[in-house]
């Protein structure tokens, strides 16, 4: 048992699943804020200090949710009984904008065949 599984094993499955789904959505929202707002604002107001501060804050928040998503994929694999292919797809989804929403809606289901 690795460190991540050991850490999350003390929490009930329902709580871990709730965290996983919330982090999926939060990662997508922070991605939207970063790519759809902060970077565009920075592009058009290159001299301003406020867009730079905003992009730093939103970038750090997005990095936090990105990391949490990757960490929570480990217990989610066990809970949802993902095979290797599903696990790789879930991990790769972190690198594509808004793909974590797809994981939360389609891949993160116990009744999936």
What does the pLDDT profile of the chain (113 residues) look like in tens digits? 588 888 888 899 999 999 999 999 999 999 999 999 988 988 888 888 998 899 999 999 999 999 999 999 999 999 999 999 999 999 999 999 999 999 999 887 777 65
pLDDT at 1: 58
pLDDT at 5: 82
**Dist. CA 81–CA 109, nearest whole Å:** 10
Backbone torsions φ then ψ of 43, nearest 5 degrees: -65, -40
pLDDT at 113: 59
Residue 108 — left, alpha, or beta (φ > 0 → left; ψ -120 to 50 → alpha)? beta
Residues near 74 by beta carbon (within 8 Å), at least 6 away in sequence: 2, 4, 5, 8
- Rounded to the nearest angstrom, the gap between the alpha carbon of residue 84 and the centroid of all alpha carbons in its chain is 19
């Amino acid at each position: 048992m690795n460190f991540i599984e050991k850490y999350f094993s003390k929490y009930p499955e329902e709580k871990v699943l709730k965290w996983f789904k919330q982090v999926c959505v939060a990662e997508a929202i922070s991605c939207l804020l970063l790519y759809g707002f902060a970077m565009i604002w920075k592009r058009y107001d290159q001299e301003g200090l406020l867009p730079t501060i905003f992009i730093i804050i939103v970038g750090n928040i997005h990095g936090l949710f990105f990391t949490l998503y990757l960490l929570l994929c480990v217990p989610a694999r066990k809970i949802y009984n993902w095979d290797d292919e599903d696990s790789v797809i879930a991990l790769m989804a972190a690198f594509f904008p808004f793909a974590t929403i797809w994981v939360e809606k389609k891949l993160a289901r116990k009744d999936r065949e």
